[in-house]
């Protein structure tokens, strides 16, 4: 299979998952618009259709709540193939949305799309800027009240069932979930998906949100789950700084944004676990660390927050696998190489890490990660995630963000990366 044919396949996947203004992650398993998936889709579209890239971001931000929150799923058209659907979330939005958010990578990706064609993107960016700013304000005012960025549901992290959340999940009573029919396990191998116990707790958390009419202050204060997420903390910090670059180019006053970024940076010691020699998830309800190294910690490089101890941890976990960065520590008892976020490698996370490594002056490591990610896609196609030990493709096929990451990064050699804004 030639490089060109993989490029064509990747573009065909984006076009095939395009619903007209928004892109679904993959047919069947995820039949709606997801927040951070859309941001990566925009980056992918920008390699061949810059206007369509901006459309993707516009559609996402059009469903922003009055509070500033941008929901994690937008249910544009009803689809019985996904659970929990809009009837379970009951958020009263139109179009219907979920009641939680997802990693704020939209500004990071908007900056990339803009830099790929600054002239064409100027007006589009100007229109998007106040919405992104409002979303960041929401993050800082509502979710950084303890310092680092906190999540109220594991789905907000994007790394749904990673071991980071186990201690917080243990405190969630899943018995209120009641009877329900999962759909995900009918689309893909159930062994690669979260457990029934996980789902009971996920649904119990959704029910709590409904019970307080999705009042964020109450969810943060009284909800069953509240953990600081290193991954989101670093992505938000990076996104603040990228948004400030765009703001300056638009002639905006970015003092507020830079103040948020400074506060967040000052809070980073709160999530540094000395025993783990790494950043760690922190249960804000009990003050306990998760004590498990996850891929969220390595997002530190995105925010210029790496250090020699983290470097050593990165090399330790990376050297234990053959393909990409595992989503969880391969030396931990909880490691499972094919179970979703409990071990597999995710091209989209590898791409974010490579951006950070490149910025940290580690182009050699970024290239190693790119080559490994490319080899997974060359071997098996555009899967959702992969076994980092033997490259087994996992989850959904013809996946939007994997195709986008191929076009922008994994399928590019070092020279062409710069052209596509990956540097």
What are the residues binding ligand 2M8 (CB under 6 A)? 25, 30, 34, 36-37, 72, 155, 158, 160, 184
Nearest distance from residue 324's CB to ligand 2M8, in Å?
Answer: 15
Q: Residue 311 catalytic?
A: no
Q: Which is nearer to ligand 2M8, 72 or 362 (CB)?
A: 72
Nearest distance from residue 93's CB to ligand 2M8, in Å?
Answer: 16
Q: Which is nearer to ligand 2M8, 22 or 34 (CB)?
A: 34
**For residue 375, which of 321, 294, 296 has the smallest C-alpha distance?**
321
Nearest distance from residue 38's CB to ligand 2M8, in Å?
Answer: 9
Active-site residue, from 384, 387, 398, 417: 384
Q: Which is nearer to ligand 2M8, 272 or 346 (CB)?
A: 346
State the CB neighbour count (10 A cutoff) for residue 333.
7
Q: Residue 398 catalytic?
A: no
Which stretches of 267-387 are DSSP H helices?
Answer: 308-319, 347-359, 363-380
Nearest distance from residue 60's CB to ligand 2M8, in Å?
Answer: 12
Nearest distance from residue 202's CB to ligand 2M8, in Å?
Answer: 8
Does the CA dihedral 127-243-103-354 come out positive or negative? positive
DSSP H or E stretch at residue 97: strand 96-97
Contact 194, 83 (CB under 8 A): no
Active-site residue, from 58, 160, 200, 367: 160
**For residue 397, which of 384, 411, 387, 410 has the smallest C-alpha distance?**
384
Q: Which is nearer to ligand 2M8, 28 or 171 (CB)?
A: 28
Q: Take residue 386 and report the two structure tokens written for it.
A: 């992969």
Contact 369, 414 (CB under 8 A): no
Q: Which is nearer to ligand 2M8, 194 or 306 (CB)?
A: 194
Does the CA dihedral 283-289-294-296 come out positive or negative? positive
State the CB neighbour count (10 A cutoff) for residue 293.
27
Catalytic residue numbers, as ranges: 160, 384
């Amino acid at each position: 299979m030639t490089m060109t044919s993989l490029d064509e396949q990747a573009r065909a996947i984006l076009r095939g998952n395009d619903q007209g203004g928004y892109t679904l992650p993959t047919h069947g398993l995820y039949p709606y618009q997801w927040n951070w998936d859309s941001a990566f889709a925009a980056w992918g579209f920008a390699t061949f259709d810059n206007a369509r890239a901006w459309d993707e971001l516009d559609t996402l931000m059009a469903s922003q709540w009055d509070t500033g929150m941008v929901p994690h799923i937008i249910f544009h058209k009803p689809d019985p193939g996904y659970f929990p659907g809009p009837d379970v979330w009951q958020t009263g939005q139109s179009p219907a949305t979920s009641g939680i958010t997802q990693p704020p990578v939209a500004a990071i990706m908007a900056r990339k799309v803009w830099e790929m064609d600054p002239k064409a993107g100027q007006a589009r960016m100007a229109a998007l800027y106040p919405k992104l700013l409002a979303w960041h304000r929401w993050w800082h005012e509502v979710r950084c009240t303890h310092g680092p960025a906190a999540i109220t549901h594991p789905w907000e992290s994007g790394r749904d069932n990673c071991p980071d959340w186990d201690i917080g999940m243990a405190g969630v009573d899943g018995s209120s979930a009641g009877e329900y029919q999962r759909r995900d396990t009918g689309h893909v191998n159930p062994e690669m998906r979260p457990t029934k116990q996980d789902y009971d707790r996920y649904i119990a958390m959704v029910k709590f949100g409904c019970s307080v009419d999705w009042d964020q202050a109450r969810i943060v204060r009284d909800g069953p789950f509240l953990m600081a997420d290193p991954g989101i903390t670093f992505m938000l910090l990076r996104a603040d700084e990228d948004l400030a670059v765009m703001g300056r180019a638009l002639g905006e006053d970015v003092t507020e944004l830079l103040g948020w970024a400074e506060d967040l940076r000052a809070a980073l010691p709160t999530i540094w676990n000395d025993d783990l020699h790494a950043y760690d998830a922190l249960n804000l309800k009990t003050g306990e660390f998760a004590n498990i190294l996850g891929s969220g910690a390595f997002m530190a490089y995105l925010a210029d927050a790496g250090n020699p101890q983290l470097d050593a941890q990165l090399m330790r976990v990376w050297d234990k696998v053959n393909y990409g960065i595992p989503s969880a520590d391969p030396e931990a008892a909880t490691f499972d190489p094919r179970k979703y976020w409990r071990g597999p490698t995710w091209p989209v996370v590898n791409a974010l890490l490579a951006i950070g490594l490149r910025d940290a002056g580690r182009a050699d490591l970024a290239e190693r990660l790119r080559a490994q990610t490319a080899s997974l896609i060359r071997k098996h196609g555009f899967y959702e995630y992969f076994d980092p030990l033997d490259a087994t493709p996992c989850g959904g096929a013809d996946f939007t963000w994997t195709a986008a990451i191929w076009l922008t990064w994994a399928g590019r050699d070092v020279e062409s990366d710069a052209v596509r804004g990956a540097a």
